[in-house]
Amino acid sequence: MSVLDFVKSLPRKTLQRYQKLPLYGKMVLWLWILFEICLVIAIVLISPSRVAQFMYDNAEKLARFPFGWLLVGLLIVLISFPPLHGHTTAVTLCGFAWGLNGFFIAATASLIGAVVVLCTLRYCFKARLRAFSKTNEKWQALETVIAAKGLLLIILIRMSPLPPWVYSNMLFASIGSVSVWQFMTATFFVFPKLFLHVFIGSRIAAFSDGETRGQMDTRTYFSLLTRSHFNQGTTDTKVINGLLIGGGILIAFVASWFVYTSIQKHIRRLPGQPVETNELAAEALEDTEDAPLLASDRA
């Protein structure tokens, strides 16, 4: 699938997912859209620079608070549970407040949160999982393929941006053939993406403080990447800093698309499995909203 085909298919897939939502799910979605619109209007009225300064000042307080890292870590663990969202935002916050040192907070909390979700959901929905697996052909194919190919395929699926973090946790909780240690190992391979989000957050912080932003000139220093970026008066290049932010976002998007499309092709061409089984397994990943524990989120 090319980038153009992928982009063209997004409206159709989005509409299909929307139509499958129950009434309360559609209401929540529209309330969220309304909230985002109001938020944008508020930012425009207050002015982006004042909002950014407010966020920077509070991030500085959070970074200096003795247990600030613990609060953010607990938040990341909490939002690893469905139907909560905001994992990427929380990880970016780690970079915003602690610079690159925030990666250690984000990575540790993400790993703990993922494992807690996996174990909790499997314990609570064991009977539902078994009943669903016996009746869904696509899910049986996905479990068969993962059981046959093992850790490498689990890692590839875990690295895929679709489904998103919280639903990826639920997806693997739904697959009984994936052990806890395999899931933990696969989660380590998500750390480079977490690092990228932390990096983007650290660069956004450099733009958010009015004093630091005003001191930026043509010289390039990168001490702002660490925890010391607060109140150091470090100069940095506005253009380079902007390019780093834009480049980080672009890399994240391109890498996500590449990983997702590569995994789909890889599964459909797996040797040693019937072509029909591989095709059904790939379709199961595309239709993750039909997974047993994902469906339970909307039941």
pLDDT in tens, 104-136: 999 999 999 999 999 998 888 777 766 666 666
Per cent of the chain over pLDDT 70 is 63
Instruction: Quote the pTM value.
Output: 0.70
Highest mean pLDDT: which range of 40-44, 46-50, 124-128: 40-44
Residue 240: what pLDDT? 64
Q: What is the mean pLDDT of the chain?
A: 75
Mean predicted confidence (pLDDT) in 221-233: 44
The DSSP string of 176-227 is: TTS-HHHHHHHHHTTHHHHHHHHHHHHHHHHHH-HHHHHH--S----GGGSG
Q: Per-residue pLDDT for 233 more than 60?
A: no
Q: Spell out the residues 6+ positions from residue 25 whose beta carbon is closer than 8 angstroms to its own.
A: 298
Lowest-pLDDT choice from 8-22, 52-66, 187-201:
8-22
Contact (Cβ atoms closer than 8 angstroms) between residue 201 and residue 100: no
